Structure 1
């Protein structure tokens, strides 16, 4: 029995090389796949073997290794980070004046994709009901932003200058020109939050003398699966890093084919690598924490549905 158990564990952890494909056998396993082998999930065994090693962490990027879990769990975190961790983003754009060459629809889309720095935990979701949709925005569910700028000639420029940066004032509109307009008691509650665009150098439009923009924007809370603008990550990826052992020499064409099956620079490692790059709205380590909370809630809902009797 001990020999059988050892052989099964070797099969579960091996990398299988077929004629044109390399795959990890463990990623397709499920409990009960091997007759006579008890491979059901065990909490104590998981707690002993699971660990997280943070490889790199800075303001907008986090890279860490998760050891002792299946690749499906890493992929679940990736999908949750992309689509289910909430953020605040521009939802409504009220254009009162736009005399630039950028069409209203294009301008509204550009504004909607600007990452907004605001803690979504401090706001509530706006209801999607028809009655509530007619209600005015409040301080608990909406952030109001204002963009008002007009281009004019610079009276102090020399007559021989041809540089637009010298000839015109306010001819380049950046995200830094968007100003936060507090609603209700937001000025007191979020006095230290510095609400506004994450980056101040995002180009919005180019103006010429006489052209101007006067725009009001409303930011609401949402998730990435509703619209990509709510996604808090620029990239979230994972890769399986198994230990690879070649039992025989591989030469010639087969060696070239084998090399192409792997990413460049593959070495001997034993864990799953996950990286998260934030858009700057929230720190990457906080995004991972929020993703874990979402996954836990999903599991709890699933267990509750399993316990609920099916009454027809």
Structure 2
């Protein structure tokens, strides 16, 4: 006989000082004495993807019916293996600002670029010469000069000098070869225009040439297409017994706003999704054996925030393409061994 009902075994129980009912089988989703053979129709019936919110920079969606290994593979691929284009080499022709050349190069390298990676080839080796098929070139020319007719006693740098701030919008695309035709009406540019690169004062200037190549975040964080990519399991809250009226406010305060509500003189779970599972309610002896906390083992709430190279809704499909390519490679290697 199974130790837990199917409903219970799909929950990770949250105790006062430990997490209970974690995966304890050698193969997730399999239990001794039961048949859990792979069935495509069964997998399809349990799999569900639901988009909860979408903005120009962020996406939140639910992924239901998969093991944590699959969800974590998607998360890691989004962070480290979805290719983007970033600044790799900076040729500084002149820099009289207070920022050292190497610091300036690092700041420029971290600017996200709105360049579709499929438009470029990835260099096979770091020493491969640049071409219009594997490299995008930007020029940076920024000068700080005194404005005319500045009032006597003026102290605001922006009113005294022009070009006080060097922003990512100062980067200018320099087309090479057939890149005008390659990129068409969407020429390469910084994904965000107001990133501060440096501050200057009168007479200072920065003149540089930037070479950008295709890469992945596993090699350097500048190629990562996301600011954050994380998931959490859907919380569950079971109120096992009525809470005395005099303790309603205290019980409700143990959870974030909107999780617990009073309805008809009783406390009910209004929205367990908002719970952060802080376990605050388990600290109070008066609530002992009155509430049970948990998380749904196969219900993942994903949050993905794009750094600007991709639209948020494009990131997960790109990660799935990378995962499928890995699976094909493993399959080909396995066949070669037979």
Q: 1:85 corresponds to which residue?
A: 82
State how far apart, in whole Å, the 2-side matches of 1:27 and 1:115 are: 42
Following superposition of structure 1 onto structure 2, how do residues 1-312 of structure 1 map, counting pairs within 5 Å? Answer: 4=1, 7=4, 9-18=6-15, 20-23=17-20, 25-26=22-23, 30=27, 33-128=30-125, 133=127, 135=129, 137-245=130-238, 262-263=277-278, 271-309=299-337
Unaligned residue ranges in structure 2 (runs of 5+): 256-274, 282-292
State how far apart, in whole Å, the 1-side matches of 2:164 and 2:330 are: 55
Post-superposition Cα deviations, 1:218-256, rounded to whole Å, max 9, x if no partner, equal 00000000000000000000011154446679999xx9x
* Cα deviation, residue 14, structure 1: 2.8
* Cα deviation, residue 111, structure 1: 0.4
* Cα deviation, residue 61, structure 1: 0.6
Return the TM-score normalized by structure 2: 0.80
With over 3 angstroms needed to count, the CA separation of the structure-2 counterparts of 1:262 and 1:27, relative to structure 1, is farther
Q: Is contact 2:13-2:294 (8 Å) kept?
A: no
With over 3 angstroms needed to count, the CA separation of the structure-2 counterparts of 1:178 and 1:24, relative to structure 1, is farther
Return the TM-score normalized by structure 1: 0.86
Greater mean alpha carbon deviation, residues 82-91 or residues 156-165: 156-165
Post-superposition Cα deviations, 1:259-281, rounded to whole Å, max 9, x if no partner, equal 89924899998532011100011
Unaligned residue ranges in structure 1 (runs of 5+): none
